[in-house]
Chains A and B, each alone.
Chain A
Amino acid sequence: MTAIAPGCPSGLSLSATATPAQDPSAFVAQKDGVKSLDLIVKGARCGGCLSKIESNVGRLPGIRLARLNLSSGRLRVEWAGQLKPHAIVETVSDLGYGVTAFDPGKVDVEDARTERRLITALTIAGVGTAAVMFMSEPLWFGSDLPADMRNILRWLSAAVAIPVAIISGQPFFSSALASIRARRLNMDVPVSLAVILALALSLYETSVGGQHAFFDASVMLLFFLLIGRVLDARLRRRAYAAANELASLQTATATRLGLNGRAEAVRASDIRPGDILLVAAGERLAIDAEIISGESDVDLRLVTGEVEPMATITGQTLHAGAVNLSAPIQVRALAAANDSLMADVARLLEAGEQKKSGYRRLADKAAELYVPQVHATAALGFVGWLMFGATAAQAAYVAVTVLIITCPCALALAAPLVQVVAAGRLFREGIFLSSGDALERLAAIDHVVLDKTGTLTLGDPVLSNMSEDARRALTHAAMLARASHHPFSRALVKVAGAGPVAEVIREIPGQGVTGTIEGRRAKIGSASFLGAMAGGGSELWFAFEGEAPTPFHFDDAIRPEAAETIAKLKAMGIEVELLSGDGAERVARAAEAAGIQQWTARATPQSKAAHVKALEASGQKILMVGDGLNDAGALAGAHASIAPGGAVDVSRLASDCVFSGDSLRAIAITVITARAARARMRENFAFAALYNIVVVPVALAGWVTPLIAAVAMSASSAVVTLNALRMAGPRRSSQGGMP
């Protein structure tokens, strides 16, 4: 029998994570008559979930394979025959799990391949290091070792170390070559040089029966550095996959009308300019499009930040991110909207990207300082020893030991290890970084600019301060509201709960809904629709025919923990301000509720970006937090930026990090973690510098033996690693986290 862990969906109660099932047929792949589909399953945590899902899907006709990966939350289904893909999605969703079709994509596969190649290189380096160490031990400690024995061990070490270094050093050699070609120095240049020179010197020493050989040190160097590389690659892939899944929960498919008038589900990425699409009420537009028929109103809060929906007109251009509210419309897909808004956003994005590419990472700065100095010291050592009468071989020995012992290890591991640990910690909180150097920029900020709609607020209105009259009218109003996708209607239904729907429903776009309740005509809608006096603010009126209308008021709900987060940021000495495209009254109310003194309303995309630019010019480092198309320019132009998971694609891509979940706490967590990471990185660089100051004179004096090199290298790497791990913090349970 299968046991269900507490907290797992039971199928009897509706899962909170369950998302409305979309048409998955656009994601079905077909090969040799076998169809396959990849799904993201939310809420599966235990063996019970696993077997329940696999066995229930497996019972559907024609199923060849149903395998759930519990670690990543992905379900792969393969089948032959006429089974409708929708049946699979429904089966899983009926069990109480949230389910979304998704496109594994090419990048994912490529990243997995890179990671696998790095792991293979790491294993080879590890086995090679162990083998060479094993043979080096008698060389280090056996001072009475016979000469022929010593020679055999040396040649054997060479036979292992050289092929191992050639294979597992590949990632460093190619990166170093690329960097030299670009006329810049990265950390892989000294690493490659140290490995190659150490091997060459050791080979020479072995052939002439000299004192020391550094086969062990060179493979060990590669082994340590590869550990950092593998961790880095794995984390990047996980963060990428998680961010990708967030994206696929947004608009992934659209309904295309073919020439014969037949509707088919297609992926958003497969839509071509000129395609005619049918946009149902409640659907979010995946691409820019022009309305060709139908009358409705659209929710533009992701585009302009305005909460009030707007009535549509035929021929109007809608941007990706607009949500159709009241009635189905037909639109024609555009290559990319080229109206003024989009052109402005594109220009602002470009300006922001140029600025960011000029940013120099801490590690690059360190490398640019370190590489010339160490190489100059090594060259100096070589010349110095020659001048004092040493042979060329002796002088070369000193120069190479300087290169090996200054150990780019600690320096090369200093930043990536901290980034991996910090990003892993953020990952467990549902925050996904787009790049490692984002952390450095996030750590530097001293001024936060928040967007209102969808960022400071959840973006969905909630019913507020109900009067006695409204409370009485709620049940009847909800019967009309259930038929509408309008955000106010949905907020009303959320309070009223599930229940019956009125008869003879008619929705008039931009105005309201009429219907019959218990034989009486009733209306719900805007003040003008019911002939009432508009009271200002967000409201919805309800009335039975011939009776006085009752208003319902709505607020844009502030995200949970917003006030605490803002208080915390202020306590850290960070200024916070609100910058919104919405009306002054609503912005002021939200600012007051969140404890923000400084706010601006009616901001356009240009004025948002200009505001951020002006602040940056005054020497402040801005963290922009926003989700809409109107925020994209500001997000790209700010020193660092964060977007919530529900943001439009453009804004998400322009951001350094994306957070899932509702709580605004993510902002404070990100900044705190980034600052801790920067402190650890600086400590690591300081330690690496200190270490070099101590060991360089030893190497220049010619006192470094292979044993000293091995010990110094491991010890310095261990110190840097342990310091990075200091910020790992208590491990949170993965339950309820992102897959």
Chain B
Amino acid sequence: MNVFMLMLPGIAVLALVGLGAFRWALKSGQFEDPKGAAARILEESDHPG
């Protein structure tokens, strides 16, 4: 019972962290260009942008 009461706030915090991380990813444009992101990691980045 006591263990249970300890876990619940932990779960709530974890859920909120996940939600926050997703919101951040969405806001920072991580899903705007999936194809470009896949191509970019293979390129040398010596140009602006």
Q: Is the CB of A63 within 8 A of B32?
A: no
Give B1-49 interface residues, CB cut-off 8 Å to A: 1, 4, 8, 11-12, 15, 18-19, 22-23, 26, 32-36, 38-40, 42-44, 46-49
CA distance A67 to B29 in the complex (A): 13
Given A46-B39, A66-B47: A149 in contact with B15 (beta carbons within 8 A): no
Tell me which residues across on chain B come within 8 A of A50, comparing CB atoms: 36, 39-40, 43
- Pick from B15, B43, B46, B48: contact of A47, CB below 8 A: B43
Among B18, B35, B44, B48, point to the contact of A127 (Cβ < 8 A). Answer: B18
Residues from 53 to 71 in A contacting B, C-beta threshold 8 Å: 54-55, 58-59, 63-71
A47–B8 CB distance below 8 A = no
In this complex, the interface size class of chain A, counting residues with CB under 8 Å from chain B, is: 20 to 34
A204 cross-chain contacts in B, Cβ below 8 A? none
In the bound assembly, the distance between CA atoms of A65 and B49 in angstroms comes to 5
Query: What residue of chain A has the Cβ atom nearest to residue B16's Cβ?
Result: A127
Residue of A nearest to B18 (CB): A127
Known A-B contacts A2-B43, A127-B18; the reply to A69 vs B49 at CB < 8 A is no
- Given that A71-B36, A116-B26, A120-B26 are contacting pairs, would A156 and B47 also be in contact in the complex, using a CB cutoff of 8 Å? no
Distance, CA A156 to CA B7, complexed state (A): 13
Tell me whether A120 and B43 are in contact (CB under 8 A).
Answer: no
> CB distance A55 to B47 under 8 Å?
yes
Please name the residue on chain A nearest to B32 by beta carbon.
A69
Q: B33 contacts A72, CB within 8 Å?
A: yes
Partner of B34, one of A59, A71, A149, A156: A71
A123 in the interface (beta carbon within 8 A): yes
Q: Is the CB of A51 within 8 A of B23?
A: no
Q: Give complex CA distance A64, B36 in Å.
A: 19
A70–B18 CB distance below 8 A: no
CB of B34 to closest CB in A, whole Å: 6
What's the least CB distance linking A438 to chain B, in Å?
Answer: 28
- A140 at interface, CB cutoff 8 A: no
Cβ contact of B15, chosen from A65, A68, A119, A127, cutoff 8 A: A127
Q: Which of B22, B34, B38, B39 has the most CB of A within 10 A?
A: B39
Would A120 and B23 count as touching, CB distance under 8 A?
A: yes
Q: A63-B48, A65-B49 are in contact. Are A127 and B43 (CB under 8 A)?
A: no
Chain A residues closer than 8 Å to B47, beta-carbon distance:
51, 54-55, 58-59, 66
Q: From A74, which residue of chain B is reached at the shortest CB distance?
A: B33
Q: What is the minimal beta-carbon distance from B49 to any residue of chain A, in angstroms?
A: 4
A260 to chain B: closest CB distance in Å? 37
Q: Which residues of A contact B12 (CB under 8 A)?
A: 131
17 pairs of residues in contact across A and B, judged by CB atoms under 8 Å: A47-B42, A50-B36, A51-B43, A51-B47, A54-B47, A54-B49, A66-B48, A67-B49, A69-B32, A69-B33, A70-B35, A123-B23, A127-B15, A131-B11, A131-B12, A134-B11, A149-B1
Residue positions of B touching A, CB distance < 8 A: 1, 4, 8, 11-12, 15, 18-19, 22-23, 26, 32-36, 38-40, 42-44, 46-49
